[in-house]
Amino acid sequence: MAPGLPTAMDRPHFIGIGGAGMSGIAKILAQRGARVAGSDSRESATAESLRALGATVHIGHAAGHLADDATCVVVSSAIRADNPELVRAAELGVPVVHRSDALASLMGGLRAIAVAGTHGKTTTTSMLAVALTELGLDPSYAIGGDLEGPGTNARHGAGDIFVAEADESDRSFQKYDPEVAIVLNVELDHHANYASMDEIYDSFETFVGKVVPGGTLVISADQPGAVELTSRLRDLSTLKIVTYGDSPSADVRVHKVTPRGLTSEVTVLLDGRYLTFTVSVPGSHYAHNAVAALAAGVALGIPAHNLASALGKYTGVKRRLQLKGEENGVQVIDSYAHHPTEMTADLEAMRGATASDSSSGRLLVVFQPHLFSRTQELATEMGQALALADASLVLDIYPAREDPIPGVTSTLITDAARRAGADVTPVADKATVPDVIAGMAKPGDLVLTMGAGDVTDLGPAILARLSN
Residues annotated in the binding site, as ranges? 117-123
Burial of 196 (0-12, 13-18, 19+ CB in 10 A): exposed
Catalytic: 210? no
Measure the CA–CA gap between 142 and 248, rounded to whole angstroms.
Answer: 33
Instruction: Please report, for residues 212, 307, 444, the alpha-carbon distance to residue 215 in angstroms, rounded to integers and kept in the order given.
Output: 5, 19, 48
Q: Which residues contact 444 (CB under 8 A, 6 or more apart)?
A: 329, 330, 359, 360, 361, 362
The span from the CA of 222 to the CA of 209, in Å, is 21
Q: Is 122 a catalytic residue?
A: yes
User: What are the two backbone dihedrals, phi and then psi, of residue 24, each rounded to the nearest 5 degrees?
Assistant: -65, -45
Q: In what order do the strands lie in the sheet with 37-40?
A: 56-59, 37-40, 12-15, 72-75, 96-98
Q: Which of 27, 121, 175, 430 is catalytic?
A: 121
- How far is Cα 136 from Cα 214, in angstroms, rounded to an integer? 25
Question: Could you say which of 85, 165, 327, 342 is catalytic?
Answer: 165
* 224 exposure class (CB count in 10 Å sphere: 0-12, 13-18, 19+): exposed
Q: Measure the CA–CA gap between 223 and 116, rounded to whole angstroms.
A: 14
Binding site per annotation, positions for ATP: 117-123
Q: Which residues contact 129 (CB under 8 A, 6 or more apart)?
A: 139, 141, 143, 147, 155, 163
Q: Which of 71, 122, 263, 341 is catalytic?
A: 122
Establish whether 256 is a catalytic residue.
Answer: no
Distance CA 381, CA 365 (A): 16
State whether residue 278 is helix, strand or coil. strand
Question: Of the candidates 28, 39, 36, 30, which has an alpha carbon nearest to the alpha carbon of residue 63?
Answer: 39
Catalytic residues: 121-122, 165
